[in-house]
């Protein structure tokens, strides 16, 4: 078994209102110096050793991510 992380973020050209809300709240809470926030998802998968990157890519694109608006990245831990 291996631990694999799939990171999913909105494409940079897509507006991220959740991230903007956080960035707007930070100064009100007294935190300065944060120029931008973008929110995304991460998935931790416990995968069998014979699951290859090509299969992980198909899982990410078919189930974990909306490829129209999101980018994904597989990170083997």
Q: Footprint of a copy of itself on this chain (CB under 8 A)?
A: 1, 7, 9, 19, 22, 25-26, 29, 31-48, 50-51, 55, 58-59, 62-64
Residue 3 in contact with residue 61, Cβ under 8 Å?
A: no
DSSP symbol at 20: H
Q: Which is nearer to a copy of itself, 48 or 68 (CB)?
A: 48
Min dist. Cβ of residue 46 to a copy of itself (A): 4
Min dist. Cβ of residue 35 to a copy of itself (A): 4
Identify the CA nearest to 14 among candidates 74, 67, 75: 67
Identify the CA nearest to 57 among candidates 37, 71, 68, 41: 71
Min dist. Cβ of residue 50 to a copy of itself (A): 6
């Amino acid at each position: 078994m291996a631990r694999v992380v799939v990171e999913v973020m909105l494409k940079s050209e897509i507006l991220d209102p959740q991230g903007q809300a956080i960035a707007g709240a930070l100064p009100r809470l007294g935190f300065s110096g944060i120029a931008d926030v973008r929110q995304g998802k991460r998935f931790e998968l416990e995968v069998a050793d014979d699951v290859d990157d090509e299969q992980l890519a198909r899982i990410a694109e078919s189930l974990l991510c909306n490829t129209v608006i999101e980018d994904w990245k597989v990170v083997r831990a």
